Amino acid sequence: MITHSTSSRRASSVSFLGQDPQATLAWSQGSDGEQRLARHLQRALADRVVLLHDRTVPRTLGTIEHLAVAESGIWVIDANNSSGSVERRDVGPWLSVDHRLYVGGRNVTRLVDELGWQVGAVESALGDLDLPVHGALCFTDASWQLFRRPFQIRDVWVTWADALTRALAAPGPLSDGDVMQTALGLAETLRPASSASR
């Protein structure tokens, strides 16, 4: 449980990182789904999670929409506003498993693969730090079946905003100091996309 003093220190770190005007501008110009998810996470998690938006990956043209550093670990998050029912389908032949992601009847498994690459980039940015890194593909406008639950495909979580919030807020191995130091290190290594393009 976060004490008052711990919460205050985390809030200071969030405030410091949140004052990056280029990062704020970058995600505010992103898709509607990106904007809504970023605002939802900020409101729901407040000082419990450090959020970084629209970060570049060094020596590549790739960007990461959202990074969240929490007690539960480091989360690489991609927002998607596709509509239709979200499904995990097993398309493998008999006696084998090959899960694919379908939304609105369309195979969108490439989104999982793209996020997997981003998770690898964050793991590389951490260097020798042995910290849990999770990938989450969050659908902001899709529909889900009754008794829905988040699921994984190739180690990437497929989820929606409220379920993602609960996962981020769950207890985990990172201390308050770990959260702040890790967030500051990632903010330095993975620079805002708008500043990197200058």
Location of structure tokens 């964050």: 122
pLDDT tens by residue, 33-42: 788 888 899 8
Tokens of 24: 């704020």
Confidence class of residue 135 from pLDDT cuts 50, 70 and 90?
A: very high
Whether the CB-CB separation of 137 and 78 falls below 8 Å is answered with yes
DSSP symbol at 46 = G
pLDDT tens by residue, 61-79: 888 999 999 999 999 999 9
pTM: 0.83
Confidence class of residue 133 from pLDDT cuts 50, 70 and 90?
A: very high
CA 21, CA 25: separation in Å to the nearest integer? Answer: 6
Mapped to the 3 state alphabet, what secondary structure does 75-142 carry? EEEEEECCCCEEEEEECCCCCCCCEEEEECCEECHHHHHHHHHHHHHHHHHCCCCCCCEEEEEEECCC
Q: For residue 31, what pLDDT is reported?
A: 66
CA distances, 108 to each of 55, 86, 99, 150, 183 (Å): 23, 10, 11, 16, 30
Tokens of 57: 């990956």
